[in-house]
Chain A
C-alpha cells in the first residue's frame, strides 16, 4: 500500500504542478496507475468488488483534484470503474448460469470491438444498464447495490482472484487501446481526405498529425493550411513535421482563418475534451475557426480518441473552469515591466494580460467526430458515453448541483 500511495501522490503532484499535460499523456499515466492500484489491492474475503471500486474511486478523486482541468484523468477513472462493475457482474451471471456466454464474450469484446460489446451489453438486458431510459437510470443505483451484495455473497477467494486477473486483463487492454488510439484514428484518413483537397487545421495536435500523415503515406496528395495557434504557436511545429513528411504546408495566422476559409475543403482539428452533449473543449481560437467553417459550409471534423470522451456537460462547474495560463506566453515581461509598475500611484497597473487556454465549441458547429472506434455525429456522443461509463460514477459534484 505505501508503494501505491507513493505512486499516486507522485502522479498527483505531477498533475498539480502541470508537469504532465495533454489528454493522451494523462490518460496513459492514469490508466497505468489504476492498473497498479488494482494489482496491489488486497481485497477482503467478502465484498471484493465494492472495496476495489472504493479504492479506485479514492485514487481517482485525488488525481482529479490535482488538476481538474485535465478531464482525461476523470474519464479514465470512470472508465476503469465501469470495467470493474462489468467484471463484477460477469461472475454473478456465471453463478446464475444464464447469459454465461455473452458475459464471457463481453470481457473479450471490450478490447476487440466496442460495437459488439455494446450489443452484448444490451443483451445483458435489465441487469446492465439500458442507456436510453431515464426511468431505468433512476433505479440503477439500487439494482447495482443489490447486484453487489448478491455477488459478494457468492464470491469465494478463488472467484476474487479470477475477478482480479480479469480486471487486470481488461485494464491492460484499455492501456493498449490508449496507446494505439492514434493508429485507429489514422486508419480512417483515406475515407475523409480526398485527392487535391485543401485541409485547414489549428495549432498542433498529435492526432491531426498522424491523421494527415496516414493519408500522405497512402499517396494522397493534398495541401494543409496551418493556423499557427497563438500564443504558443505550436502550428509552427506541425508545419515543420509535415514538411519532413513531404506534405505541402502553408502557415497562416489565427486571425486569417476567415480570409482563407473559402479556399478550404475541410477543417480537421484536435481537441482537449469531448462533452456529453457533443460539444468540445478545445484550444482557444477554435470557436472562431468553427464559426468560419459554418459560415462557408466547410465540414468541421474533430479527431478525438475515446479517452477524451467526457461524461460531463458543458454547464458542469468543473468544465466552466478555464485554465488561465501564464501571461508571459503572450508578451515579454521585461518589455512591459515599466507598464506593469504598480509602484507609482498615477499609473497603477492599467495593463493586464489574460491568457485563457480553452474555448468551448457547441455541437451544432461540429460536423463529425472521428474516433478510434469510428466516425460519429455530435448527436450520437451521449450513446458512446453511456457505453463507456456507469452512471454511478458520475462525479459527485454533479449530484448536489443538480
Chain B
C-alpha cells in the first residue's frame, strides 16, 4: 500500500510540475550565462574578484541571475567562466545551485577568451545547445516572466526562419541633461517597426555633440512605418535561436554582442536575419554595467522593485533577514547584529549578519555586509560596505564602495565616488579625494597608443587583463609590505594601498559612472552648456521626439538642411583645426594630413574652397598661438611702415615675430594648403578668409595684412591674378571694407606694374 501511495504522490508531483504555466517549452529551455563582462569598468575590484561574485545587497550578483533563470523555467544553464574562473566555479560548487531539482548548472571554463563573441564560438564548438536559449550575462537582475517573450519568439520563428533573436527592452527615459539613462549607460537610439516589433536600428554610441543621428535612407524606403526611440533601455536579456551561435562562428570578427553582432545583423542584407524586440512593462530588468548601475540596482532591490529577489526573501540560500519599520519605510536586519542604543540606522538600509555598530553612528541608505565593525560617531550615507570591514571612530563615508577587509583608521574621510578595493588600509584622518580608486594592486600601465585605449574602452580589454592578473597574483604578497613603506604618505599614517590615477579623458567623465550621485554643479554646468546650443537641442528633440512615428515619405528633414550646413561648416572648421594642430604636434607627414582633411571633407560634404579656407584659418591660428618672446628686439629688425595703422589698439612689438612665425608656418605647410588651391576661386577664398580673420577673430594680423599677403605671393600660394581680382572685387565695396585693400595698395600697385611690364 505504501509503495502505491508513494507512486501516487510522485505522479501527483509530476502532474503539478507539468501544470506549471512557466513550463511551456516542450524541450527544456537552455541558457548561456556569461560570468565575465569582458569589460574593465569595475576595476580595481575586478582585478581580485570576478564581477559576478561581487555582493549586491549582500548576495553575490550571479545568484540573482541564476534565481531568475530558474524561476523563468530554464532547465539547464551553462555558466561560462573566464577571468577568475576558479573563484566562480568554487563558489558555484559550494552553493546550492548544483543540487537543484529540475535545474542543472554546468560550467564551461576557458582562459584565453577575450570577448563574448569568442565565448559563444567556444560554446558552439562544444555542441551543447540544442534549441532556443537565453543569453544573459551574470550581472543581470530581473523578475520578468519569460513565458510571453518566449512564446512570441517561437511563433515568429515558426513563420520566419530568419527571426533569430528576441531582445528584451524596457522603457526608461534618459536624462536630457546628461544624455544617459538612470543606470548610467549612454543614451540608446533604436528604430523599431511598430507593428512587427522588428529592430531596425541600434545605436548606443551616438555622437551627442552633433545632436543628430543618421538613419539609412533604405530604412525609410523599405518600411511603411518605423518608430524611433531614445527612451528604451536594453536589458541585455536575449532569447536566441541556435543559429546565433553559428553566426558567431561564421563571422569570426564579431566580438561584442551589441556593437558587432546586433549592428552586424542589422546592416547585413544578404542573409536577412532579423532581430525582434519584446518590451516589458511592469516587471524589472536591469544589468549592472558600471558603478552607477550598481548603486541604482541596489536601491531598486532594497525598495523591492525586484520582488521576490529582495533581502528578506531567501531566494538563494542567503541568510534570513527581517524587515524592521523605520519611519515609514523599512530596513532589513539580520537577527544577530550588535547595535548601540544611540546608533541611528535610517531607512532603506540593509545590515548583514554579525555586524557591530557603535554609539552615535548614523547610517542611512546603505548596505553593510557581514561581520563589519563600525565604531562610534561614524557617518555612513548611501554607501556599500562589504564583509569584515573595520571602520574606526569618527569616519565619514558618503556614496562609496568599500570592499572586504578594508580598515579605516579613526577620522578617515571618504569623499563621494571613492572605491576602496580589498584589504586597503586608510590612515588616520586621511581624506581620500572624490572619485579616486584605491587598491593594493598597482595600476596597470596604460598603453599610450590611441588604438589600445579605445580597445580598453570598448568592452574587451581582456588580453591585457589576464596578463595583469598573473603579475598581480605574484606580487600580491610582497606588495603589501612594500607599499606600506613606499606609499605611506599617500594614504595617511599606516595606510596601505595605491591610489589609482584616473586615466586622461576619463577624469572628465568619471562622475557619469560613479556610485556617487551627479553633483549639482555638474548638472547646472551641463544644462548651461545645453542652453548655449539650445537651438540644436530643440531641433534634435523634435526630430527624435519620443517614439513618434516617422512616415517614410516625410520631407520634414529638408527644411533643416540650411541650418544643418551652417552648423556643419562650423564643426568642419573645428575638426580641421584639431587635425592640423595634432599634425603639428606629432609631426605627421603632410601627405597624411591631406588625406585626413580630405576624409573630413567627404564626411561633411564640403568643397575644396572650404577646405582651403579652413586649413588656412588653422595655420593662422597656430601662428598666433606660437609664443612671441623677445619680440621687442625683433621689432627693430622688421620695422613695418604699415604697422602704424592699428598701433593704438595692439602693441606693435607683436607684429615682428608674428610675421616671422607666419612665414615659417606657411613655408612648412605650403604643400598642404596648395593641395586645395586648385583654381583661382579658392585663392580668392583664402584672401577673403584672411580678411575676415583680421576683422574678427584674429585682429593681431590686421597690421600685417599686406606683408603676409606678400609672403603668400612669394611662396607661390597666391597667384597675382587672384590678388588682383580680389582688389577689383573690393573696388566697389564700402569704405570700411576697403581697409585692407588700402593697406596693401602699394603691393597691388607693384603687382599691376609687374604684370604690365611682362606684357
Contacts and interface: CB of A to CB of B under 8 A. Distances in A.
A338 B181 CA distance: 9
B2 interface: yes
Contacts of A16: 313-315
A325 B173 contact: no
A3 to B, nearest CB: 8
Contact of A343 (B171, B184, B314): B184
B225 interface: no
A327 interface: yes
Interface stretch (A98-106, A142-150, A196-204, A350-358): A350-358
Contact of A325 (B12, B300, B304, B328): B304
B304 A36 contact: no
Interface residues of A, number: 43
Interface in A2-38: 6-7, 9-10, 13, 16-19, 32, 35-36
Interface string A304-324: 000000000000000001001
Contact of B328 (A165, A342, A354): A354
A380 interface: no
Chain B facing A: main interface SS: loop
A342 B314 contact: no
A66 interface: yes
A345 B182 contact: no
A343 B328 contact: no
A96 interface: no
B322 A321 contact: yes
A259 interface: no
A179 interface: no
Given A325-B304, A328-B305, A345 B519 contact: yes
A395 B308 CA distance: 26
A19 to B, nearest CB: 7
A355 to B, nearest CB: 7
Contacts of B382: 342, 348
Contact of B305 (A6, A17, A35, A333): A333
A9 B314 CA distance: 13
A354 B9 contact: no
B128 to A, nearest CB: 25
Interface in A344-377: 344-346, 348-349, 352-355
A397 B382 CA distance: 34
Most-contacted residue by chain B among A16, A66, A337 (CB, 10 A): A337
A334 B6 contact: no
Interface stretch (B281-289, B386-394, B460-468, B606-614): B281-289
Given A40-B6, A337-B171, A344-B517, A18 B284 contact: no
A337 B303 contact: no
A324 B5 contact: no
Give the one of B172, B284, B307, B516 with max A CB within 10 A.
B307
Contact of A6 (B67, B101, B284): B101
A280 to B, nearest CB: 21
Contacts of B71: 17, 19
A321 B332 CA distance: 12
B307 A325 contact: yes
B101 A334 contact: no
B292 interface: yes
Contacts of B303: 327, 340, 349, 352-353
A36 B517 contact: no
B299 interface: yes
Contact of A65 (B184, B307, B320): B320
Interface string B140-176: 0001000000000000000000000000001111010
Nearest to B306: A326
A83 B203 CA distance: 66
A183 interface: no
B282 A333 contact: yes
Contact of A348 (B5, B284, B517): B517
Given A17-B308, A39-B2, A324-B323, A346 B315 contact: no
Given A345-B519, A352-B303, A338 B281 contact: no
Contacts of A10: 13, 101
Nearest to B299: A342
Given A65-B320, A324-B304, A345 B329 contact: no
A344 B518 contact: yes
Contacts of B519: 345
Nearest to B170: A334
B339 to A, nearest CB: 18
A32 B518 contact: no
Contacts of B313: 16-18
B101 A345 contact: no
B76 interface: no
A332 interface: yes
Given A328-B305, A334-B172, A348-B517, A39 B5 contact: yes
A341 interface: yes
Contacts of A338: 173, 175, 182
A17, A165, A325, most chain B CB atoms within 10 A? A17
Interface in A144-165: 165
B634 interface: no
A312 to B, nearest CB: 16
A178 B310 CA distance: 32
A32 B307 contact: no
A343 B307 contact: no
B124 interface: no
B438 to A, nearest CB: 23
B295 interface: yes
B282 A332 contact: yes
Interface in A42-94: 65-66
Contacts of A341: 175, 182, 296
A250 to B, nearest CB: 28
Given A66-B314, A327-B305, A334-B172, A342 B295 contact: yes
Contact of B6 (A13, A19, A39, A337): A39
B520 interface: yes
B523 interface: yes
Nearest to A168: B5
A141 B171 CA distance: 61
Given A65-B320, A66-B314, A326 B6 contact: no
B171 A334 contact: yes
A65 B300 CA distance: 25
A91 B430 CA distance: 76
B273 interface: no
B740 interface: no
A334 B172 CA distance: 6
A327 B304 contact: yes
A217 B516 CA distance: 64
B330 interface: yes
Nearest to A331: B282
Contacts of B100: 13
A7 to B, nearest CB: 7
A16 B319 CA distance: 12
Contacts of B5: 35-36, 39, 168
Nearest to A36: B9
10 contacts: A36-B5, A40-B6, A326-B304, A326-B306, A327-B305, A328-B284, A337-B173, A340-B182, A342-B295, A342-B517
Given A338-B182, A342-B382, 17 more contacts: A7-B9, A7-B13, A16-B313, A36-B9, A39-B5, A40-B2, A325-B304, A325-B307, A327-B304, A333-B305, A341-B175, A342-B182, A343-B182, A343-B518, A344-B517, A348-B517, A349-B348
Interface of B: 1-2, 5-6, 9, 12-13, 67, 71, 100-101, 143, 170-173, 175, 182, 184, 281-284, 292, 295-296, 299-300, 303-308, 310, 312-315, 320, 322-323, 328-330, 348, 365, 382, 516-520, 523
What are the 7 A-B residue pairs with the smallest beta carbon separation, nearest first? Answer: A326-B307, A334-B171, A345-B517, A341-B182, A328-B282, A18-B308, A342-B299
